[in-house]
Amino acid sequence: MLWRFKLTAARWDEIFDGQGRRCAICRTDVPTGHGWHVDHDHACCPEPGRSCGKCVRAILCSECNTGLGKFRDDPAVLRAAADYLECVRE
């Protein structure tokens, strides 16, 4: 699967080691679901399902990777979701 992101196993380890071998978002060291995922900027590369390798951002757990996708990698939508959660808890 690393070939889809133009990553070698050594480069994947370098990225993951730099994150403390944890998800870059939630910081878990035990991924749920489908294991670890390579996160990349989908807007960067023209071919669906593949990366040029330059736009790899981090290694994420399955849950965080899916979450970003569901929010369309849009920071404004993610901020709105966080604001919503904070309001409904008050």
With bands split at pLDDT 50, 70 and 90, how would you rate the model's confidence at 70?
Answer: very high
pLDDT of 73 higher than 80: yes
Going by the DSSP 8-state scheme, the letter that residue 60 receives in this structure is E
- Specify the pLDDT at position 90: 62
Q: Where in the chain are the domains?
A: 2-89
Q: What is the pTM (predicted TM-score) of this model?
A: 0.82
Dihedral sign for Cα atoms in the order 49, 54, 59, 65: negative
CATH of domain 2-89: 3.40.1800.10
CA dist 68 and 82 (Å) reads: 13
Q: For the segment 15-58, what is each residue's pLDDT rounded down to a tens digit?
A: 999 999 999 999 999 988 889 999 888 777 777 666 776 788 99
The two structure tokens encoding residue 38: 């390579």
Helices (H), the chain: 9-18, 62-70, 75-89
pLDDT of 89 higher than 80: no
What are the b/e assignments for 63-79, b being 16+ CB within 10 Å?
A: bbbeebeeeeeeeeeee
Q: From the DSSP assignment, how many helices (H) and strands (E) are in the chain? A: 3, 2
